[in-house]
A and B are shown apart, each in its own frame.
Chain A
Amino acid sequence: MEKNVAYIALFAALIAVLGLVPQITLAVGVPITAQSLGVMLCGTVLGARRGGLAALLFVGLVALGLPLLSGGRGGLGVFSSPTAGFVLGFPIAAFVTGMVMEKWRAGIGAGAAGAALLGGVVVLYIIGISGMALVLGKNWIAAAGLMAAYLPGDLIKVALAAFITQGLAKLRPAALLSRAP
């Protein structure tokens, strides 16, 4: 129980920390940071349930007014802004990532890459673009077009998630809760 709480809390903190890794802000206003990499890692390392809870804890604290999002953003205003879909999608993305990581019987590297791609990119983008389309009053395709510039960066993050998960599996095999027997 204590291990679960500690892991969930520390990975929620990790998502926040990865939001501070130096970022490039494109004109669309969604900063390119490693923050979604943190969400992917929650899924690939902690698994579906704990990873989802870690991301949910993170989003909850953002709602309470902590500036944990990249760029020091936070508070309830985030949930009315065009990027609300992405923030709300974090827990679902982490959950799906963890689910794929747990169920797909591939090697750790390939499994993490596939999981991060499906959860951290496909699912997150679907939810995020839907939110953006809703707030900006545009159709889905248009909003998707706005987000297209972020795709290469996120594909790089998928590769990074695979690399980091593989590294953690070698260094701390007992800590890889997503593949615990």
Chain B
Amino acid sequence: MLTLTCPIETPLHRVEPGPKLLGLGLASLWLFQLQTPWAVGAVCFCVALAYRTFGRRFARFGAAMLRPLWPFLLILGLWHGWTGEIAAGLVVAGKMLAAVALANLVTMTSRLDEMIALVERLAAPLARLGLRPRVLAVAMGLVIRFTPVLIDKAALLGQAWRARSARRVNWRILLPISLIALDDADRVAEAIRARGGL
């Protein structure tokens, strides 16, 4: 399954996700308490510069990941433009962009297997509460494997619908989709038991 890791290699790709996450946490906390548009603007500039030093394609990738924020920027622009609080609006918008961009930077430079390994290490203490890391790893693997499978099966259901009805596919298809998920869950449970269980 495709992840959001950027295929363009950067030096950050070679850093372990643990330190990157720690750095992100500290940076986010520090960013949160900034007050003036100049400070926030400077941070945004530095973040943009960091993206750019990793290459133009990488920076474009990063910009694309910021695109879902545009409606909120529009709202902030309209709101603060109307009330006249331009500085406050710039601070909020800048903090939001910088925080999301920094977090995306970690996501784009961390491979899924590294992140899963980190999760397994962090989840080791939970073994005392009854959650073995292996069970968690199997659960994650199942979701990653079965999401595309369910998507394909839902698409097949849609085709079956269109083959049998002149009407457009509507909400009624959700029951068969849910049923497929349930039945697959039963079969997967049997399959795991057949292979020795958890």
Contact = CB atoms under 8 A, between A and B. Distances in A.
Contact of A68 (B76, B91, B147, B177): B147
Interface of A: 1-3, 5-14, 16-18, 20-21, 27-29, 34, 37, 41, 45, 57-58, 60-61, 64-68, 71, 73-82, 135-138, 146, 160, 163-164, 167-168, 171-172, 175
B116 interface: yes
Interface stretch (B48-56, B63-71, B159-167): B63-71
Interface of B: 1-5, 21, 24, 28, 65-66, 68-72, 74-76, 79, 88, 91-92, 96, 99-104, 106-108, 110, 112, 115-116, 119, 135, 138-140, 142-144, 146-147, 149-151, 154, 171, 174-175, 177-179, 181-186, 188-190, 192-193, 197-198
Nearest to B108: A75
B51 to A, nearest CB: 13
A24 to B, nearest CB: 13
A34 B174 contact: yes
Most buried by B among A9, A12, A163: A9
A21 B175 CA distance: 13
B84 to A, nearest CB: 15
Contacts of B91: 137
A65 B115 contact: yes
- The 9 A-B pairs at the shortest CB distance, nearest first, are namely A29-B71, A75-B107, A9-B142, A80-B99, A76-B103, A10-B185, A6-B189, A77-B104, A137-B92
Most buried by B among A5, A8, A67: A5
Nearest to A132: B72
Interface of A is mostly: helix
Most buried by B among A37, A45, A66, A172: A66
Most buried by A among B71, B79, B151: B71
Nearest to A69: B68
Given A7-B185, A74-B4, A81-B100, A13 B150 contact: yes
A138 B149 CA distance: 41
Interface of B is mostly: helix
Given A17-B154, A77-B101, A82-B96, A41 B143 contact: no
A27 B79 CA distance: 14
Nearest to B141: A9
A175 B74 CA distance: 45
19 contacts: A3-B189, A9-B140, A9-B143, A10-B184, A11-B181, A17-B151, A45-B178, A61-B143, A64-B3, A65-B112, A75-B4, A76-B103, A77-B101, A77-B103, A77-B104, A136-B72, A167-B178, A168-B175, A168-B179
B3 A67 contact: yes
Contact of B185 (A6, A27, A81): A6
Given A13-B181, A66-B144, A136-B72, 16 more contacts: A3-B185, A5-B189, A6-B192, A14-B178, A20-B154, A28-B75, A29-B69, A29-B72, A57-B143, A65-B110, A75-B103, A76-B106, A78-B103, A80-B28, A82-B69, A175-B185
Given A66-B112, A80-B99, A61 B144 contact: yes
A57 B139 contact: yes
Contacts of B96: 80-82, 135-136
A6 B182 CA distance: 9
